[in-house]
Each structure stands twice: as structure tokens, then as C-alpha cells.
Amino acid sequence: MRTLKIIFILLFFFNQTNLQAYSTNPKEFIFELVSDAISKLSDKSLTNEEKAKFIEKIALENVDIKALSLYTLGELRKSTEEEILLSYQTAFEKYFLKSLTSRLTDYSSSKFEVTNSDQKSANYTIIQSVVSPDSGDPEIKIDWRVYTKNPDKPLIRDLIVEGLSLARTQKEEFASILNSNNNDISILIKKLEEFLKK
């Protein structure tokens, strides 16, 4: 009887953790994650604040924000002091989450379908998907660059919307700011912080 009780308790916890986690297969991972996000974003019983909090939570768990912050810094990441790099990463994470929630609430009423999966290397798989807006506007092709170095925990590193990489756009935007300010990262951090105050 006691063993049965323990099994029940374990099963309960196992199910609880499974409710939060997505598949480790990159294709299923993206489908489950985006379907979950769309269903939450289109849930009229949730406030915008609750939706934003949910998006932030899944982004923190499933997007490789640290790698993204280093990528967007370009070659400068190699020559930057650890301390400055850390404050840049902190500012970048806040900036990323704010811009992500603002972007995703704009695309809430859409249908989502994963169309293909292309393993580029042991570390990367590109998941191809299509978003069909309910408004009847043309469908949008979105590719997801999934980092699979740890096969038990796939992480999103980039979104390629109709062939346009959001990570690369961000990288080139930051490069322009850095180039016109003698590669001074503190100015970039200041701009990120100004954005957060808006």
C-alpha cells in the first residue's frame, strides 16, 4: 500500500513536470512550444500582463538568450572584459524579453504548422514552419534555428522570417551603433537601458 502511494506521488510529480516541458525532438519541440504560445496569446480570459509573463517564462526556458547576446555582439565579444560582457548580457536579456513580448502579442491570432525539419549538423537543426494569419493575409514562412548540442534540452537561437534572420538583423543593428561609437559597448548598454525605460 505504501509503495503504491509512493508510485502515485511520483507519477503526480512526473506529470506535473511534463506539463511544463516540451519534447526533446526539435520538430515536436517547436510545434508544442508555438502551439502553447498561440493558445495562451489568444486566450481572452488572460490579461496582457499575464500573457507577457507567460511569453517571458517560455523564452527564458527555451531560447538561448545568452548565446544570442554574444552572437549579436560579433567579434567584439572576444575582446571584451568579463564584467562589461556580463552587464551587456543582463541588459540584452531584458531588451530581448521586452521586444519579444511586444512582437508576439501582435501575431496572436494565427494558425501554426511545422512543415519540415533539416538537421544541419550535430549542433543545429532548422525547423521550417508556416504561420497563417486568421485575417486572411498571406501566410508567413518561419524557420527556427534550434541548437541541439544538448539533445535533452533543445534551445532556439534564431527565427528566420521569410528568409530574414532576426538574429542577424539585430547583430547588424548593434554593429552600426558600435561602429559609430568607437566600439564602446557601454554606449550600446546605455541604448538598451534607454529602450527599457520607454
Partner 1 sequence: MAIFKLNFNRILGKIIYIARTMILKKIKSFVFIMVFTFLTVSNLKAADECFENFSRAIFNFNMAFDDVIMEPVAKGYNKLPNPIKTGASNFTSNIATLLSIPNNLLQGNFKQLGHSTASFVVNTSVGILGIFNPAEKMGLKPHQEDVGQTLGIYGFGPGCYLVLPILGPSTARDTIGLLADTFIDPFAHVTIRENELFGASGNAIDYYSVKGTSAVNFRSDNLINLESLEKNSLDLYSSYKSIYLQDRNNKIKNSTEDQDDWGNLDN
Rg for the chain, CA atoms, rounded: 19
20 vs 49, which CB is nearer to partner 1?
Answer: 49
Q: Is 99 in the site for partner 1 (CB under 8 A)?
A: yes
User: Residue from 145, 146, 148, 185 that binds partner 1 (CB under 8 A)?
Assistant: 145
User: Residue from 12, 53, 86, 103 that binds partner 1 (CB under 8 A)?
Assistant: 103
Residues 65, 62: Cα–Cα separation, whole Å:
9
User: Residue from 109, 115, 123, 186 that binds partner 1 (CB under 8 A)?
Assistant: 123
* Distance (Å) of CA 150 to CA 100, 114, 140, 153, 169: 24, 22, 29, 5, 26
Residues 168, 166: Cα–Cα separation, whole Å:
5
188 contact partners, CB below 8 Å, separation of at least 6: 88, 174, 177, 178, 181
Query: What is the distance in angstroms between the CA of the first residue and the CA of the last residue of the chain?
Result: 59
Q: Is 111 in the site for partner 1 (CB under 8 A)?
A: no
Residues 154-183 that bind partner 1 (CB under 8 A): 157-158, 160, 162-165, 168-169, 172-177
Could you list the residues that contact partner 1 (CB under 8 A)? 66-67, 70-71, 99, 102-103, 106-107, 120, 123-124, 126, 136-138, 141, 143, 145, 149, 157-158, 160, 162-165, 168-169, 172-177, 191-192, 195
